[in-house]
């Protein structure tokens, strides 16, 4: 992997990640851009104890542009985009309309491929490995920023999810706090550790799932399963079998095996509703969110007896589609009380994901 860092016309950082070491990245951003001005701030909710990012400048962000005006495609001639060069393998750059900025953290965009009509599932294993290396590198770099406490790499795919740019891409949020979801996990880990005399909760969960009928895929170094209390109609958690706190902790064997396992999982997701067994069969391109959960880099004093090494890196992949042509909406119980109601038994979801072929 070759890494080349440069600056866009408005001062934002852009980084090329290339498969070949002999690639030269010296294209200049020729757009007449002014410096980006953001109004991002983080406010604490005194009752819930969580944080809300206020980012009113995002109202003006790019919204469903036509394909020939996509800002994530390479620049071609006088058609200028966020990527100055005429081609790329993987690119990461600071978001022009960030939810978090300055003392409130940082937001980046990750372009998985220059092919506008592709998806992550279309990547080769070599390309997927390069994306993994980019995620890992950005996690390392962002963790050293004084305002950053947790790094979150994720992908939103599909208009149903709320994606405003169709080009295959993901994002990285570098938060100035430990996110509420992670805090809940850490509190559960702390309570379990105390109650069992030191047992790790993530290890216990993984051991239980490996013995159950909800395993979807298993390899030498990874396992994917539908969790016992899945919140979403089709939800899969992907864990390395050796517990590590973050992407930096993965060994070479796990890194090498990841692309094959993850691509297989994504391709199966695209075939959940495409078997001819349901009304409306033929629907593909399943909308999903893929989210890496990593240990915070900040102090964990509030979680008594827990260290970063007690956390387990894992990816959570889920779709809001519950059946062909029907979405799972977060209505009264979910949005009002945060109590999810799942219409599909996790065991049935796992069976469906086992039986669909990826190609």
CB 221 within 8 A of CB 240: yes
**Which among 7, 314, 13 has a CA at the least distance from the CA of 141?**
13
Helix (H, G, I), strand (E, B) or coil at 181: helix
Q: Can you tell me which residue has the tokens 């405003």? A: 164
Distances (CA, A) of 19 to 89, 91, 133, 262: 7, 12, 11, 19
Pairing of strands 234-240, 2-7: unpaired
Which helix (H) or strand (E) segment holds residue 351: the answer is: helix 346-355
Catalytically active residues, by annotation = 169
Q: How many CA atoms lie within 13 A of 347 on its CB side?
A: 3
**Which among 24, 29, 23 has a CA at the least distance from the CA of 7?**
29
Distances (CA, A) of 54 to 39, 100, 154, 355: 8, 9, 20, 44
Q: Output the six-digit token pair for 254.
A: 């796990």
According to DSSP, the residues that pair with 318 across neighbouring strands are: 235, 289
CB 233 within 8 A of CB 317: no
């Amino acid at each position: 992997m070759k890494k080349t860092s440069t600056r866009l016309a408005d001062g934002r950082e852009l980084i090329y990640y290339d498969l070949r070491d002999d690639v030269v990245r010296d294209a200049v951003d020729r757009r007449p851009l002014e410096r980006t001005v953001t109004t991002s701030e983080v406010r604490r909710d005194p009752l819930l104890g969580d944080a809300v990012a206020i980012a009113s400048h995002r109202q003006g962000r790019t919204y469903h542009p036509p394909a020939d005006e996509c800002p994530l495609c390479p620049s071609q001639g006088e058609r200028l985009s966020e990527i100055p060069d005429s081609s790329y393998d993987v690119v990461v750059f600071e978001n022009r309309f960030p939810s978090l900025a300055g003392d409130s953290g940082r937001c980046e965009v990750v372009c998985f491929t220059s092919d506008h009509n592709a998806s992550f599932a279309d990547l080769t294993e070599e390309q997927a490995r390069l994306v993994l290396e980019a995620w890992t590198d950005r996690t390392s770099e962002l963790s050293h920023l004084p305002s950053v406490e947790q790094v979150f790499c994720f992908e939103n795919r599909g208009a149903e999810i709320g994606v405003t740019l169709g080009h295959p891409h993901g994002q990285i949020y570098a938060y100035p706090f430990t996110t509420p979801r992670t805090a809940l996990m850490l509190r559960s880990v702390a309570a379990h550790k105390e109650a069992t005399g030191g047992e790790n909760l993530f290890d216990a969960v993984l051991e239980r799932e490996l013995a159950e009928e909800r395993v979807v895929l298993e390899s030498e170094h990874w396992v994917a399963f539908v969790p016992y209390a899945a919140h979403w109609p089709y939800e899969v958690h992907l864990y390395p079998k050796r517990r590590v706190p973050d992407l930096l902790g993965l060994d070479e064997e796990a890194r090498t095996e990841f692309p094959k396992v993850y691509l297989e999982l994504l391709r199966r997701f695209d075939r959940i509703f495409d078997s001819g067994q349901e009304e409306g069969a033929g629907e593909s391109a399943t909308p999903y969110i893929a989210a890496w959960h990593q240990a915070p880099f900040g102090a964990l004093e509030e979680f008594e007896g827990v260290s970063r090494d007690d956390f387990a890196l894992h990816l959570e992949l889920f779709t809001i589609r519950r059946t062909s042509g029907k979405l799972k909406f977060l209505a009264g119980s979910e949005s009002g009380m945060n109590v999810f109601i799942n219409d599909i038994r996790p065991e049935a979801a796992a069976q469906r994901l086992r039986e669909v072929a990826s190609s």
